[in-house]
């Protein structure tokens, strides 16, 4: 479709401006709007297999491992993740590749013609992913939930397996104050008769998943019972916790393989597929190393943003015997600071630099964070200043940049090449 033929978005910049007006953080707790548009497009039950990935931590990594397993098997694979770092185009990939801007405009125009004017930011992108995967005739679409499960836009799409990463305390202002409440909201995405796969869970969360799965007659599987991991796997994603994410992805993939009769390429066996998939899986901002440059030190980038994720980050640093010389940190106002900050303080003996997270109304002010962290903390006017100060303080040693994916997004805006694997 040419620019002149489109009725709504003539350029990608026009479409992105429209998204920004919708508001990145705007939520409207209902699935009515998105189901209406999906029904109009006849895509509420897509003609491809759908894996729905929910939980609190590890959703992006697990989704990436699952997508990599499918690609290594030779399947045409769609992957939908969130949030993005610098462009919404990062959220939707087919066989690991982003769609070009022209394709985004064409898809967005089709959605508007189907009543897309009613959709929120995340709903619009979810429909766009479903439609893109339909156009590309994918065999499998891996759909990562955004927040919760009951009213998350991805829950409007009928799926073939429901996958649960570890459920932990996060977004209590939306999902509930207790772990059981959060687990119940996420468990609402379980579909009648559709298999559920999970792995490492708190007992309370696992009990909720078992209860809801039993009510809906959905078989619940523990990933460790579904397949064996390679003896000495190489992972494209660093950290001990990634082995558990990979195990969960493998369990979910095993369920789909058994259901759909997928087989590896003729020159490979399943062990080859697993080895290749785990080594190839990669996503930016997960224990990612970045070499020093003139304007910043050697960095370790990690999107840890809640107590559970910070505990995993601590273990990942210990496993590689890394003690950062300094930390650059920023977070949202709704985070569990009483649990996060002691772990953060223990990651390094050096200074902690606190830049603002620009254009983000949910971000906590550096001055407020500095007051909580004490004398080691230094409020900065910008990420650039924090990087320069950290470079002086760390000299030739590593600096950890963590606390929010949105803070990492600012860094990737400065260094966009770091978004792709070297």
Residue 7 sits in the same domain as residue 109:
yes
Residue 389 phi/psi, 5-degree rounding, is -65, -40
- Residues 152 and 273 grouped into a single domain: yes
> Do residue 250 and residue 361 come from a single domain?
no
More confident residue, 396 or 182: 182
| 293 and 224 in a common domain | no
Between strands 377-379 and 399-402, the pairing is unpaired
pLDDT of residue 136: 98
pLDDT attached to residue 26: 66
Q: Is the pLDDT of residue 350 over 60?
A: yes
Question: Based on the domain organization, do 97 and 165 belong to the same domain?
Answer: yes
Q: Quote the CA–CA distance of 395 and 398 in Å, as a whole number.
A: 9
For the domain that residue 95 is a member of, what is the CATH number?
3.40.1190.10
- Mean pLDDT, to the nearest integer, of 333-351? 90
CATH of residue 331: 3.90.190.20
Q: Are residues 297 and 263 in the same domain?
A: no
Same domain, 307 and 400: yes
Chain segment 145-186, per-residue pLDDT in tens: 998 889 999 999 999 999 999 998 775 555 666 999 999 999
Amino acid 337: pLDDT: 86
Given 220, 252, 280, the domain boundary residue is: 280
- DSSP category for residue 284: T
Between CA 61 and CA 66, with CA 62 as vertex, the angle to 5 degrees is 115
Same domain, 308 and 258: no
- Comparing 3 with 142, the larger pLDDT belongs to 142
Model-level pTM? 0.94
Three-state DSSP class for 289?
strand
- Whole-angstrom distance, CA of residue 154 vs CA of residue 82: 11
On whether both 332 and 268 belong to a single domain, the answer is: no
Return the DSSP state at 296: B
Looking at the fold, whether 266 and 305 belong to one and the same domain comes out as no
**By residue range, what is the domain housing residue 379?**
288-419
What's the pLDDT tens digit per position in 129-147? Answer: 999 999 999 999 999 999 8
- Which residues face 98 on adjacent strands? 93
334 or 307, which is more confident: 307
Single out the residue in 222, 249, 280 at which a domain terminates: 280
Q: Are 320 and 393 found together in one domain? A: yes
Query: With bands split at pLDDT 50, 70 and 90, how would you rate the model's confidence at 222?
Result: very high
Indicate the pLDDT class of residue 30, thresholds 50, 70 and 90. confident
Are both 400 and 347 inside the same structural domain? Answer: yes
**Residue 3: what pLDDT?**
66
Number of domains in the chain: 2
Share of the chain above pLDDT 70, in %: 96
- Tell me which of 223, 248, 280 is where a domain ends: 280
What is the layout of strands, in order, in the sheet containing 161-164? 97-98, 92-94, 77-80, 140-144, 49-54, 161-164, 196-198, 220-222
pLDDT given for residue 332 in this prediction: 87
């Amino acid at each position: 479709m040419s620019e002149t033929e489109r009725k709504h978005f003539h350029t990608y910049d026009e479409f992105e401006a429209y998204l920004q007006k919708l508001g990145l953080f705007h939520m409207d707790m209902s699935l009515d709007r998105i189901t209406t548009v999906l029904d109009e497009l006849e895509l509420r039950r897509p003609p491809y297999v759908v894996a729905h990935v929910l939980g609190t931590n590890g959703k992006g990594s697990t989704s990436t491992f699952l997508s990599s397993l499918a690609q290594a098997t030779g399947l045409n694979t769609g992957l939908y993740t969130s949030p993005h770092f610098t462009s919404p185009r990062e959220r939707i990939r087919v066989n690991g590749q982003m769609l070009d801007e022209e394709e985004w405009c064409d898809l967005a125009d089709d959605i508007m013609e189907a009543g897309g004017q009613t959709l929120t930011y995340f709903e619009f992108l979810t429909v766009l992913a479903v439609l893109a995967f339909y156009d590309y005739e994918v065999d499998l679409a891996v759909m990562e939930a955004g927040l919760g499960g009951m009213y998350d836009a991805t829950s409007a799409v009928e799926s073939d397996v429901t996958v649960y990463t570890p459920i932990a305390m996060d977004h209590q202002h939306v999902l509930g104050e207790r772990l059981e409440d959060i687990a119940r909201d996420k468990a609402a995405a379980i579909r009648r008769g559709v298999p559920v796969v999970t792995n490492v869970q708190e007992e309370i969360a696992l009990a909720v998943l078992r209860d809801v799965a039993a009510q809906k007659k959905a078989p619940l599987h523990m990933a460790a019972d579904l397949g064996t991991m390679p003896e000495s796997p190489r992972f494209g994603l660093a950290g001990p916790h990634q082995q558990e994410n990979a195990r969960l992805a493998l369990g979910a993939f095993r369920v789909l393989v058994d259901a759909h009769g997928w087989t590896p390429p003729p020159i490979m066996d399943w062990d080859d597929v697993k080895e290749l998939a785990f080594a190839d899986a990669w996503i930016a901002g997960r224990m990612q190393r970045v070499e020093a440059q003139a304007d910043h030190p050697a960095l370790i980038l990690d999107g840890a943003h809640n107590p559970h994720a910070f505990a995993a980050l601590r273990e990942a640093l210990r496993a590689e015997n890394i003690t950062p010389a300094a930390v650059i940190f920023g977070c949202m106002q709704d985070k569990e600071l009483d649990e996060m900050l002691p772990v953060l303080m223990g990651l390094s003996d050096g200074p902690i630099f606190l830049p603002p997270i620009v254009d983000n109304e949910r971000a906590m002010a550096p001055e407020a964070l500095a007051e909580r962290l004490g004398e080691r903390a230094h409020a900065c006017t910008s990420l650039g200043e924090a990087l320069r100060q950290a470079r002086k303080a760390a000299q030739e040693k590593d600096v950890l940049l963590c606390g929010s994916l949105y803070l990492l997004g600012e860094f990737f805006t400065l260094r966009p090449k770091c978004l792709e694997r070297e």
